[in-house]
């Protein structure tokens, strides 16, 4: 059974531990925080995107769910191609986990960070432990 937070932390730690990522900052996403200035270094944000639970399992404490993990790659405006290299290495590291799919959007310029962002979603299906008792 999977604890979603522990899984995300484990995945982020695996990326941080890989030598390719030694000069890349791996952080949690902060969607409601504005960024002032221009991004100078590559940053990868890793966090929970969505959790879809089968309706018939909503009363159980353990549920089979489809989980989407967001991994967004931010690169300086003078290095847009580096985002693809980062994505390839995220895919390489992700092979140690049981992801069933990875989807990336086209790279786009972000006026907020004055650099480029490549949004990526990794999918996994698992029995998830939400804790507590049914009906709480």
Q: Tens digit of pLDDT for each residue in 1-16?
A: 888 899 999 999 999 9
Q: Which domain holds residue 14?
A: 4-75+110-129
Query: What is the reported pTM?
Result: 0.86
Pick from 96, 93, 131: nearest CA to 120: 93
16 in any annotated domain? yes
12 in any annotated domain? yes
51 in any annotated domain? yes
pLDDT at residue 135, rounded to an integer: 44
Long-range contact list for 44-50, CB < 8 A, 24+ apart?
44/15, 44/71, 44/72, 44/73, 44/74, 44/86, 44/90, 45/70, 45/71, 45/72, 45/74, 46/8, 46/11, 46/12, 46/15, 46/70, 46/71, 47/8, 48/4, 48/8, 49/121
Separation CA 83–CA 119 (nearest Å): 10
Count structural domains, the chain.
1
């Amino acid at each position: 059974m999977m604890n979603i937070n522990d899984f995300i932390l484990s995945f982020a730690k695996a990326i941080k531990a890989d030598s390719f990522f030694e000069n890349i900052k791996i952080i949690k996403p902060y969607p409601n925080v504005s960024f002032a200035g221009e991004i100078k270094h590559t940053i990868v944000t890793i966090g929970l995107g969505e959790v879809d639970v089968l309706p018939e399992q909503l009363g159980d404490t353990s549920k089979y769910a489809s989980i989407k993990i967001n991994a967004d790659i931010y690169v300086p405006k003078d290095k847009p191609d580096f985002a693809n290299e980062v994505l390839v290495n995220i895919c390489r590291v992700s092979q140690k986990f049981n992801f069933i799919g990875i989807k990336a959007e086209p790279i786009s310029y972000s006026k907020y960070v004055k650099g480029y962002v490549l949004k990526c979603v990794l999918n996994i299906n698992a029995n998830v432990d939400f804790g507590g008792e049914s009906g709480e």
